[in-house]
Amino acid sequence: MRIAVFGGDGFVGWPTCLHLSNAGHEITIVDNLSRRRIDTELGVQSLTPMDSIQERLRIWKNVSGRTMRFELLDIAEEYTRVKLWLDQYRPDALIHLAQQRAAPYSMKNDRSKTYTVNNNVAATHNLLSALVELELDTHFVHLGTMGVYGYSDVGATIPEGYLDVKIPADDGTDFQRQILYPTNPNSVYHLTKCLDQLMFAFYASNDLLRITDLHQGVVWGTHTDQTRRHEQLVNRFDYDGDYGTVLNRFLIQAAVKHPLTVHGTGGQTRAFIHIQDSVRCIEIAVNNPPAHGDRPKIFNQMTETFRIRDLAKLVSDMSGVEIINLPNPRKEADENDLKVSNKQLLELGLEPVTLRVGMLEELVHVAQKYAHRIDQSKIPAQSAWTHELQSKISSVVDISTAKRKR
Ligand code: NAD
Ligand code: USQ
């Protein structure tokens, strides 16, 4: 298949490109390298040393004999160039990962909120609109988020995208329908993913585009089978307070003996998936498109759920590093349960990497290996959801004043 990977220089995108190229697909990466520029803006760098995209592609060619191409394009800002490029490339499938994906960065200040909305909404809409205008029959695969559902505790399993509802009609009968599961965004970033869902529903219905939306949980881990093939193919690894996701943060904290930074009580339950499973799921989705006229196909791309304090305990038991409960910079429920259906991907052959098995390897072979690159001043999470929460977290100038646990 000829596949365009928008956002292919990023954390999920790069190993996805390697995986699909290795499987024999023709891959072109389209990226504006904005994620690398945000690293510079924040004064942070990936834990793992990342080469330029051009150098990564040269190494891949040497290792695998396969060629991947790179196109520098801003898909939110350069609509005409995006359309021209799509017209020439005419992909069988496109994978859309090109969005600003950090919830804390999206809540940092008014500038980052506005950037996140403008970038993410325009990126999605430009691709959809160009496909319609060019009359391309490209399968559109988007990386969405479990966060569109919110992390609600309604005592029922979250279905894969759609909910059966009964609407009482005026004549006393019940009108039965399936609707998109009610959205409940928890940050400006998550809000943009909810807007994406509506755009997908509209274009699938109006223009019969074939669209798959992968509602992914928090991704952890670094390596996949393909990134392991050469040191310079290594994936990026974010650990800072804005872009670092929770388990990867705990692992690097353990490596430098920094207390594990649990927000609030740590009673928040979230869905997780290893990066190797994430790329396998994307391949499964690419190989199983919906039919023309179908509503968007939605998969819950996650494999396990964990409470944050239980994750911290697992890492603490493995490393001997203590846990600290910090004031939560986010406006989120202190405690929630989360039950999620992920039947579709399992039925299509996904065999998950479980956290208990993969975590030790990650600690030893990644976090400890690159520990000398960690700037501990970048560990605290400093973007708060409201001004009030901002003053609360700012008052904890020294983490030794916060509550520590063994
Ligand atoms: P990332 O920030 O590492 O990668 C995104 C890539 O898109 C970057 O290389 C960036 O330069 C590029 N990009 C952003 N805006 C662009 C634009 N306008 N034009 C061209 N390129 C642009 O993020 P990631 O972790 O790889 O996430 C990829 C997708 O998966 C995102 O949509 C994210 O919402 C989703 N997702 C990620 C996770 C996770 O834990 N990392 C979990 C669930 C869903
Ligand atoms: N948390 C801590 N301590 C930390 C960091 C985070 O307790 O040091 C807590 C947060 O408060 C939150 C939970 O861990 O309750 C998850 O935070 P996270 O930063 O790991 O993940 P999140 O902000 O939800 O975002 C990540 C990705 C995003 C994706 C989302 C999937 O950055 O792109 O959409 O995971 S989901 O969480 O299912 O919505």
| Mean pLDDT across the chain | 95
Q: What is the pLDDT of residues 302-335, one digit of tens each?
A: 999 999 999 999 999 999 999 999 999 999 999 9
Find the helix or strand (DSSP H, E) in which 305 lies: strand 304-307
Helix, strand, or coil (residue 375): coil
Six-digit token string for 10: 């990023």
Q: What is the pLDDT of residues 155-175, one digit of tens each?
A: 899 999 999 999 999 999 999
Considering only CA atoms, which residue is closest to atom 41 of ligand 1?
219
Considering only CA atoms, which residue is closest to atom 27 of ligand 1?
12
Q: What is the pLDDT of residues 52-75, one digit of tens each?
A: 999 999 999 999 999 999 999 999
Give residue 361's pLDDT: 78
Give residue 402's pLDDT: 58
Residue 332 alpha carbon, nearest atom of ligand 2: 15
Q: In this structure, which ligand is nearest to the CA of 148? A: 2
For the beta carbon of residue 376, count every other beta carbon within 10 angstroms. 11
| 78 Cβ inside 6 Å of ligand 2 | no
- Identify residue 94 by its one-letter amino acid code: L
Mean pLDDT of 288-311: 96
Give residue 394's pLDDT: 86
Could you tell me the pLDDT band of residue 359, with boundaries at 50, 70 and 90? confident
Cα-to-centroid distance, 184 and ligand 2 (Å) = 15
Q: In this structure, which ligand is nearest to the CA of 4? A: 1
Q: What is the pLDDT of residues 204-226, one digit of tens each?
A: 999 999 999 999 999 999 999 99
Q: What is the pLDDT of residues 262-287, one digit of tens each?
A: 999 999 999 999 999 999 999 999 99
Mean pLDDT of 26-50: 98
Residue 9 alpha carbon, nearest atom of ligand 1: 9
Could you tell me the pLDDT band of residue 405, with boundaries at 50, 70 and 90? low
Q: Is the pLDDT confidence value at 370 over 80?
A: yes
Give residue 257's pLDDT: 96
Cα-to-centroid distance, 250 and ligand 2 (Å) = 12
| 74 Cβ inside 6 Å of ligand 1 | yes
Considering only CA atoms, which residue is closest to atom 34 of ligand 2?
145
CA distances from 390 to 71, 261, 323 (A): 39, 17, 22
Q: What is the pLDDT of residues 342-351, one digit of tens each?
A: 999 999 999 9
CA distances from 110 to 106, 115, 118, 124 (A): 9, 8, 12, 21
Euclidean distance between CA atoms 186 and 297, whole angstroms: 23
Give residue 186's pLDDT: 95
Q: Is the pLDDT confidence value at 32 over 90?
A: yes
Residue 101 alpha carbon, nearest atom of ligand 1: 34
Q: Are 205 and 118 in contact (CB under 8 A)?
A: no
**In this structure, what DSSP letter does residue 99 have?**
S
Could you tell me the pLDDT band of residue 398, with boundaries at 50, 70 and 90? low
Pairing of strands 323-326, 403-405: antiparallel
Of residues 364 and 341, more confidently modeled: 341
Secondary structure (DSSP) of 142-184: EEEEGGGG-----SS-B-SSEEEEEEE-TTSPEEEEEEEPPP-
Could you tell me the pLDDT band of residue 93, with boundaries at 50, 70 and 90? very high
| 99 Cβ inside 6 Å of ligand 1 | yes
Q: What is the pLDDT of residues 134-152, one digit of tens each?
A: 999 999 999 999 999 998 7
Give the relative orientation of helices 355-362 and 308-319 as an angle to the nearest 10 degrees: 50
Could you tell me the pLDDT band of residue 395, with boundaries at 50, 70 and 90? confident
| 224 Cβ inside 6 Å of ligand 1 | no
Mean pLDDT of 283-307: 97
Euclidean distance between CA atoms 32 and 15, whole angstroms: 18
**Residues with Cβ < 8 Å from 212, sequence gap 6 or more?**
139, 140, 141, 142, 285, 288, 289, 290, 296, 297, 298, 299
* Residues with catalytic function: 145, 189, 193
What whole-number percentage of the chain has pLDDT above 70?
98
Instruction: Enumerate helices (H) and strands (E) in the chain, giving the number of each.
Output: 13, 15
For the beta carbon of residue 54, count every other beta carbon within 10 angstroms. 8
Bridge partners (DSSP) listed for residue 94: 4, 140
Cα-to-centroid distance, 70 and ligand 1 (Å) = 16
Q: Is the pLDDT confidence value at 400 over 70?
A: no
Q: Is the pLDDT confidence value at 47 over 60?
A: yes
Considering only CA atoms, which residue is closest to atom 21 of ligand 1?
31
Mean pLDDT of 356-363: 80
Q: Is the pLDDT confidence value at 396 over 80?
A: no
Give residue 399's pLDDT: 58
| 8 Cβ inside 6 Å of ligand 1 | no
Characterise 195 by phi-psi region: left (phi > 0), alpha (psi -120 to 50), beta (else).
alpha
- Identify residue 14 by its one-letter amino acid code: W
Cα-to-centroid distance, 245 and ligand 2 (Å) = 5
What whole-number percentage of the chain has pLDDT above 90?
91
Placement of tokens 């997908």 in the chain: 200
Q: In this structure, which ligand is nearest to the CA of 249? A: 2
To 10 degrees, the CA torsion angle through 47, 366, 358, 335?
A: -40
